[in-house]
Structures are given as structure tokens and as C-alpha cells.
Structure 1
Amino acid sequence: MPGDGKAKYVMVKEQIREWIRTGKVKPGQKIYSENELIKMFRVSRHTIRQAVGDLVHEGLLYREQGAGTFCAFPQEERVSGESQEARRYIGVITTYISDYIFPTIIRGIESYVTNKGYSLILACTYNNLSKEAQCLESMLQRPIAGLIVEPTESSTYNPNIRYYLELEQRKIPYVMINQYYPQLDPPHIIMDDKKGGWMATHHLLELGHRKLMGIFKTDDLQGVYRMQGFMDACREAGVSVKPEWLITYRTEELGEEVVRRVRAELEREEERPTGIVCYNDQLAVKVLDVLRELGIRVPEEMSLVGYDDSYLAEATEIKLTTVEHPKTQMGLDAAKWVMRAIERGKRDAEEPGSIVYEPKLVVRSSTAPVVVGTA
């Protein structure tokens, strides 16, 4: 590149900006890859990243994880939401996309919005706050008409609140599913997880179990409320929970760490719980593996309850008693909420309200009455 006194990254920025101005790169179109830009401008990777990063920050470009960097739509289209494209996209941000209950929720959303002539823009946070910020930045660069969000680490203060305030400022309706940020108290579609945790625990208490273990994730409100329900049911029954049998964990500890802690308690043959309530089915399957390794029979010696009624609940030889999650219905209701909110914006009507589902216990073969002498 010729040396005219300007910093190299500034010259790269100006050239890309010129491509956008002249229409060489059109809104929604992917720009050259990082390697192509390095060869084209004969500069370092750092220079390209600095130039592209500045343009993303300025709103002229946006990044899409795993896909590349794209030319943003004009500011007036992004803010007004009145362009044809803006009326045709619904953003969806979930903690995960391709596993557990999330594909079913997304199919519920997609089945409704596609019939209305909309397309989905999907993003995934992996329950990581930094990734959530990236997802929200990307959505704000796209011409979305509405947004469906599953919050990340909802039991703690969220540093990304400003993005949600920007959505509100731009009058882009959004609804939260599964949980919500209390600081915002936004419209939400959730389960009554406290009652669900109570029902799972009450089921074991009715079967005569008095030695109960509870294992709950605590970096989201779902886990906090399910644990509250567990504790409430025990207190109502006059059952004390041993401190070491109330096991809590964060998302990053779901692997070997939480399994190790559970195994350590179950290896104490002199005193074990007779029933276990798990945060979800995914965790219950891990606990089932530990019980199998230790030779503890389910449900003869240990009753086990999951949560969510996912496909995992019936994927093992022992079918899990669990609390049903309205996966498809939640997706449909979230899509309907967004569509009503979009129409409300056009007619200045009342905003749709929140939805709280009543939990339902699904009893299968992983729970049974306590064996006399072990209660």
C-alpha cells in the first residue's frame, strides 16, 4: 500500500467504507475473508482486524459467528424497522441450539413465523455473557422486527443490559423465554419452576423418602427456583436436608466436577440418600451413570427425578420420572407474542402479557416407594 502518512488500518477502513458507499458491497452481503483482505492490502492480520473491528463498532459491518463479516443495513432501516427486510426477520438467541430441549423450542418458533412470511436469525450464547454481548451486537446490526431471547446466567446481574435498553429505544419488541432478567422485568414466557421443584420433591416424599439429595444449577433463575421448591417441600414435610446433600453448581462445572461431588456422597455406604431430585434430565442421566457404576439399583435402592421431560428421559433403560417442559408450546407462544407485539407497534395497542406455565409431573420407572428400613 502506498505510504501517504496515514496509518495502514485507517487506509483499509476507508477503502472498505468506499465499497459500502458505492454499493460494491451491499447490505447483508459478506465481505472478503480476513486472509483475502491481508493479500489484497498487503498488511498484517492485526491491521485487518483493527480496521474491521472499528467498522463493526461504527455499525457499518456486523459479524455472524461461524459465517463471517457482513455489510450492515443502513441505519435508517435498522432503527425504523420499516424496510421490507426489517419486517421479515425474527431474531432468536438461546443458550444452546443443537442439543437437549432447544431444537424443539426453535422448531415451535419456526413453524409459526415462517407461516407468517418471516425468517429466523439464530444465535447461541453457550450460557456465556461475553458471547451474549456478541449475539446482541449482531442482532442490533440486522434488520430484525422482533427478538426472542433465552437469558444467560440470569441469577446474577447482567452486564449486557444496555443492549436490551437499545432494543427498547429502537422499539424492537423482545420477549424472554425459560427465565428473565429481574433488573429489566421484561415480558417473559416461563414455567413455574418453584412449583415444579416442589412437585418433584413432594412425589418422593409421598413415596416415603426422607433422605433426599438435591442437585441444582445456580447461575440461572430456573435452577434457583427449582431448588427453592425442593427446600419448601422438605420443610413442609418436616424433613431436614443434610448440607452435603444439597449440591449446587454453575454451568462450567456440569462435567466431571459435579459428577465427582455426587459420587463422593453416594460412595458413603454408611449413610446415603434414598431419593435424588436433579436440576434437569441431562444431569439425571449423569447421576444414573454414577449409580450404575456404584451398583446402586434404581428405583429399588435409589429413586431419581429429572426435569424438562426431554428425549433423554426415555433414552436409557430406566425411564425417568420428570417434570414436563412445554417445549413446542413455548416456541409457538414466543412466536405468537412477537407477532402480536409487532402488530401492536403498528396499531399502538396494548403489549401482550407474560405467560407462566403450570408444571406437570410425568411418573415413570425411576421412582418407587422407599424400602422399609432405609427411610
Structure 2
Amino acid sequence: MSGMSLRRQSNKAYDTLEEKLRVDILTGRLKPGDAIQTETELAASFGISRNTVRKAVNILVDDGLLKKVQGSGTFVAQIDEGLKGKKAEGVQNRQILFLSMSSALSEECGRATFLPIFENINRLLEKQSYSMLYSQLGLDCTPPVSLVKKDLCGVIFHGELPPAFWSNHIWPLPSVGLQYVNPEIDCNWVKIDNFSRSYQAVRYLKELGHSRIGFLSNESKLFMPRERYEGYLKAMAMHGLKVEQEWCITWQRQRCNGILPSERGDVDYWPYMKKAFDGTKPHPTALICLDDFRANFASAALVKHGFRVPEDVSILGARNDLRILPLSFTGFNDRLDEICSEAVRILLAEVNGQGGIEGQTISLRPEFIPGHTAVSPASVQKK
């Protein structure tokens, strides 16, 4: 088993602590050399015994993510350092690197995007007797040691990777990119079909009787929100529906030291939504949101200002992986587990010389799931 396994055993009391520390380390919130809290502090914070804390910490030590220094405490390990001594003889040429970019994983909480990618890729590679290494590419684009040494047989990456980085550090290793397709990077890609997602959303809402359909997403300059917004505009035109500028509720948040901060707590979307719902013009009777995360904030803002969801405004959302959390809104399963599976299949075929078509971009259509947050507009219901 790879030292980077992201196994989750929810029947164990230490699962929550183990997962929290693991995600904090792998997303860079805890950096190499950082000391974690003491056993006593962690026990108090999570409401568990010190013995339970010790079990969780020992698992992460065994996985090479933490290291204990006698008399000093427990610290976050260097990933490559943590993996040293864990490689069985000959395993070096059966290692796959998963490389993530800060710009991709800072958009959402780790549980929604980060863990499904890890669990799926790691599980599939282990079945084929491959080990998975992990590195998060920082803003300085310093390559991980494993890439410098080329101690790998392939790379899967997620996020908006600079083309020069791919050319200088990944090529000619077999590689597959997830989601963020860049035509300047000549590798295979697997992604969700963002146009199909927008098209299905508009079609469904039109069938319910909606014609005033809006689109809501922050991070409007990033690839995925931008592609879904463009898909919305095209789908509206294809269905003969008018788009008012006020219904296009898109904005880009400011970065802090180059990174998008997490949106947590009582975030207010109303300043961005007000232009569409201030009463000066007929408001949208439906909103297509980037995902459930944004849909939740949009719904809260509408309710706070006297709108009923879905009676006054229907809302569509989406989730990456329904095995972790069900949809909160009518919307889409973005099939992240199947995207990861297809990426692993393509990569291992190339690694093993089994050929296949080069230069593929495989798009999976999202699965629409009816729910309770989209109904016919009031004007149709009254007829």
C-alpha cells in the first residue's frame, strides 16, 4: 500500500481527527516542519481520549505525513522524506505522481474535491500494484523531488498547470490532466462536459416553464466557471431564450498572497445578486449555480431578502462525488470518481505500452438528478 493512502474508516473514533490532519497536510494548510498540537490539546479539541489521538497520529506517522521528534513534539514531514524507507525494492518504477495546483484546490473545501480525487486514484493504482505520490505545486512552481529525479512512471495533474512547467518537468513522462484543459499542453485530458451541464440545466428549466434563467458563480476568471458560463450563454441562445445582463451573476474574488481564501461561515452573496433581484426589472425565476456550495450561499441570500426557494426562485446545484455527500439541490452529479477512473486507465495504458489514441480529450456528461429546489415558476403554476 502506498504511504499516501487516504483510507477513511468511519467506524473508528479517530477518523475525524485523522482526516482533518491529513487534508490539512496535503492541501498545504500545515506545512513541512510545522508542529501539530499536543495530544492533550487535540484530545480536548476533538472530544476524544489521548489514546485515540495517539492512534490517529501514529497512522499519519506510518503514512509518512508526520514525524515524531523525541522531546520536541510531532511535526509535519517533508513528503518525499516521509516516503523514503517506505519504497520496496523496485517500486520506484511503479510510482505515479498526483500533482495538484493551489489555484484548483483553494476554490472549495478539501472534502468536496480533494479527498474524492485521492481516494479514487489511490484505490485504482493500488489494484494495479502502483504507488501514488502526492505533491502540491506552489506559486513558485518549484517541482517536487520525484519529478526532478524522474523517479516516476507517470503523472496525473489537476488544476491550471503552466505549459512551461509541463514542458520542462513532466514531458516526456506519460501524463493525464484532469478538468482544466489547456491546448498548449500536449497530453491526454479527462474532464466533465461543462457545456453539456449548462445545456441540460437550461433545457430542464425551460421544460418546467422558466424563461428568465440566470447564472451564478464566483471565480469567474477560472477555467471551469468560465466554461460553464459560456455554456449557459450558448444554451440559452440555442433554446431561444433571452439573457439580461443582470441575470449574469459572476465575479472574481481577490487573492491573498496569490491564493483564493476559503469561503466559510456567513458569506453574503447579496451584493452580487442584488442587481438581478432589486425589483427594478423582472427577476430570474431560476438560477443555475456553479455547484451546491455556491447554491447554498445564493439560497441563503434569497431567503434573507424575502424570496422563497423554490417557489419564487428555483435553484440548480451540483456535487463532485455523491458517495461523500448527497445533493442538497436539484442538479448534477459531476462524476469525479469516473473522471479519475478514466484518467488512471488512460495513463496506465500509456505506461504499459498498450497504445491508445494520443491527444485525447475525454468529456463525461454529468448526470442530472431531480430534486426539490426546482419547480415551475409561479406564473405557470397559476394557469
Q: 1:309 to 1:180 in 2, by over 3 A?
A: closer
User: Is this contact kept in 2: 1:108–1:332, CA < 8 A?
Assistant: yes
Report the counterpart of residue 97 of structure 2 in structure 1. 91
8 Å contact kept, 1:282–1:312: no
**1:265-301 deviations in whole A, cap 9, x for unaligned?**
3551353211101112211111122122223211111
State the SS of the aligned residue for 1:273.
coil
Q: For the aligned residues, what is the CA RMSD? A: 3.6
Tell me how far apart the structure 2 counterparts of residues 301 and 224 of structure 1 sit (CA, whole Å). 27
Aligned partner of 2:229 in structure 1 is 227
Which of 134, 143, 148 pairs up with 1:141?
148
Deviations 1:98-130 (A, max 9, x none): 3213312321111111122222222345xxx71
Q: Would the aligned equivalents of 1:198 and 1:229 in 2 still touch at CA under 8 Å?
A: yes
2:115 corresponds to which letter in structure 1? P
Letter of the structure 2 residue corresponding to residue 87 of structure 1: N
- Structure 1 letter corresponding to 2:271: R
Measured in 2, the distance between the counterparts of 1:190 and 1:87 equals: 27
Amino acid at match of 2:184: Q
Q: Cα distance, 1:212 vs. partner?
A: 1.9
Q: Give the structure 2 partner of residue 246 of structure 1.
A: 248
TM-score where L is the length of structure 2: 0.65
Q: Do the aligned partners of 1:149 and 1:175 also contact (CA within 8 Å) in 2?
A: yes
Opposite residue 344 of structure 2, the aligned amino acid is A
Map residues 1-375 of structure 1 onto 2, 5 A cutoff.
67-68=77-78, 84-94=90-100, 95-96=104-105, 98-124=110-136, 130=139, 133-134=141-142, 136-141=143-148, 143-152=151-160, 160-167=162-169, 169=171, 171-216=172-217, 217-250=219-252, 252=254, 255=263, 259-265=269-275, 267-270=277-280, 271-308=282-319, 310-311=321-322, 319-344=328-353, 351=358, 353-372=360-379
Q: 1:293 to 1:98 in 2, by over 3 A?
A: same
Counterpart of 2:121, as a letter, is I
> How much does 1:372 deviate?
1.1
CA contact (8 A) 1:337 1:352 kept: no
| TM-score, length basis structure 1 | 0.67
Give CA-to-partner distance per residue, 1:205-228, whole Å, 9 cap, x none: 221112222123433332222112
Q: Secondary structure at the match of 2:110?
A: coil
Contact 2:187 2:359 in 1 (8 A): no
Give the 3-state SS of the residue equivalent to 1:100 in structure 2: helix
* Cα gap change, 1:121 to 1:173, in 2 (>3 Å): same
Using the alignment, how far apart are the partners of 1:312 and 1:350 within structure 2?
31
Instruction: Name the count of aligned residue pairs.
Output: 290
1:30-69, CA deviations, whole angstroms, 9 ceiling, x for partnerless residues? xx979xxxxxxxxxxxxxxxxxxxxxxxxxxxxxx95338
In structure 1, C-alpha distance between the alignment counterparts of 2:211 and 2:342, rounded to whole Å: 39
Unaligned stretches of 5+ residues in structure 1: 1-31, 35-64, 74-82, 153-157
The 2-side partners of 1:123 and 1:361 are apart by 33
**Distance in 2 between residues matched to 1:269 and 1:145, nearest whole Å:** 59
Is residue 72–residue 141 contact of structure 1 (8 Å, CA) maintained in 2?
Answer: no
Structure 1 pair 335–266 and aligned structure 2 pair: CA distance change class (3 A): same
Q: 1:308, CA displacement in angstroms?
A: 3.4
Q: Which has the higher helix share?
A: 1
Output the CA distance in 2 between the equivalents of 1:223 and 1:234.
16
Are the counterparts in 2 of residues 86 and 144 from structure 1 also a CA contact under 8 Å? yes
Deviation at 1:237, TM superposition (A): 3.0
Q: Please tell me whether Structure 1 or Structure 2 has the larger radius of gyration of its CA atoms.
A: 1
1:70-106 CA distance string (max 9 Å, x none): 6799xxxxxxxxx934313211123338321331232
CA drift of 1:350 comes to 6.0
How far, CA to CA, are the matches of 1:284 and 1:242 in structure 2?
20
Question: 1:141-182 CA deviation, whole Å, 9 max, x = no partner?
Answer: 352221111122xxxxx6x3222113454x311100112212
Q: In the TM superposition, what is the alpha-carbon distance from 1:370 to its structure 2 partner? A: 0.8
What amino acid does structure 1 have at the position aligned with 2:297? Answer: K
1:324-367 Cα deviation digits (max 9, x unpaired): 211211222212222111111xx778658442212321111110
In structure 2, relative to structure 1, the CA distance for the partners of 1:140 and 1:313 (3 Å cut) is closer
Cα distance 1:244–1:340, how it changes in 2: closer, same or farther (>3 A)? same
Closer, same or farther: CA 374–230 of 1 in aligned 2, 3 Å = farther
Distance 1:251 1:138 in 2: 33
Q: Distance in 2 between matches of 1:164 and 1:374?
A: 54
